[in-house]
């Protein structure tokens, strides 16, 4: 039987409230589809009214372990079998590390929390290390990176999207000709790829290698070369 798409599940949803931007549906199918019907662990920052966690259960399947984080104590009621809720501030690294130590590592982390610049940055820096090799860190509603009331603005240093542009640089640090000022970092060794869509960023963790990190890129050749 053909698996239902996220859109189909969303349109048939009759449980708790959930609101999503319509163009996210295809992205969920593309990036999270490979994790369906597997014993995966997913953290969602921002529980809201609980409907999103219900949809992730329907989408990922019964083997998935879901971890919800929200600052609102009322969200504790949305826990259940296979779903655990933690109440606290996503901008508090100690709290988030404690949750990660208790429930991680994670195949998927989805930040749909406060959407404020400091919280987006703090959660990513705190939790990316808790993503499994081959896993994803996904942040959505990043249009707030251009909204001043969320601490954003076009090209201001505090913008989370500006911070991620720096991670793109780190991903390429193997090619740096200035290792003293632009050295290989933990992001260089662990970020496999980064994908950007309207309001959504997806950071892919490298698959495991012999030493657990991404090897330095090298060119390979095939075919015959003419005399030089």
Distance CA 116, CA 150 (A): 5
Q: Is residue 209 predicted with pLDDT exceeding 80?
A: no
Where residue 25 falls among pLDDT bands split at 50, 70, 90? very high
Instruction: Give the contacts of 71 (CB within 8 A, at least 6 positions apart).
Output: 87, 88, 89, 90, 114
**Rounded Cα distance, 178 and 57, in Å:** 47
Domain 6-205 coded CATH 1.10.3720.10: no
Q: Pick the catalytic residue: 13, 23, 49, 115?
A: 115
**What pLDDT digit, counting tens, does each position of 53-82 carry?**
999 999 999 999 999 999 999 999 999 999
**Interatomic CA distance for residues 79 and 85, integer angstroms:** 5
> Is residue 214 over pLDDT 90?
no
SS3 category, 166: helix
**Is 115 a residue of the active site?**
yes
């Amino acid at each position: 039987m053909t698996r239902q798409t996220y859109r189909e599940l969303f349109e048939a949803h009759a449980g708790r409230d959930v609101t999503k931007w319509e163009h996210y549906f295809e992205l969920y199918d593309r990036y999270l589809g490979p994790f369906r019907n597997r014993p995966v662990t997913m953290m969602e920052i921002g529980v809201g009214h609980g409907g999103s966690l219900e949809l992730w259960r329907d989408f990922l399947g019964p083997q998935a372990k879901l971890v919800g984080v929200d600052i609102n104590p009322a969200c504790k009621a949305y826990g259940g079998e296979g779903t655990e809720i933690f109440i606290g501030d996503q901008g508090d690294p100690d709290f988030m590390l404690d949750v990660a130590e208790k429930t991680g590592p994670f195949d998927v982390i989805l930040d749909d929390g406060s959407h404020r610049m400091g919280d987006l940055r703090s959660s990513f820096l705190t939790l990316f290390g808790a993503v499994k090799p081959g896993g994803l860190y996904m942040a959505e509603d990043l249009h707030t990176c251009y909204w001043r009331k969320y601490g954003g603005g076009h090209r201001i240093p505090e913008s989370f999207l500006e911070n991620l542009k720096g991670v793109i640089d780190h991903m390429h640090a193997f090619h740096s000709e200035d290792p003293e000022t632009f050295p290989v970092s933990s992001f260089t060794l662990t970020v496999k790829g980064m994908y950007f869509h309207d309001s959504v960023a997806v950071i892919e963790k490298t698959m495991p290698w012999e030493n657990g990190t991404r090897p330095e890129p090298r060119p390979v050749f095939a075919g015959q070369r003419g005399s030089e």
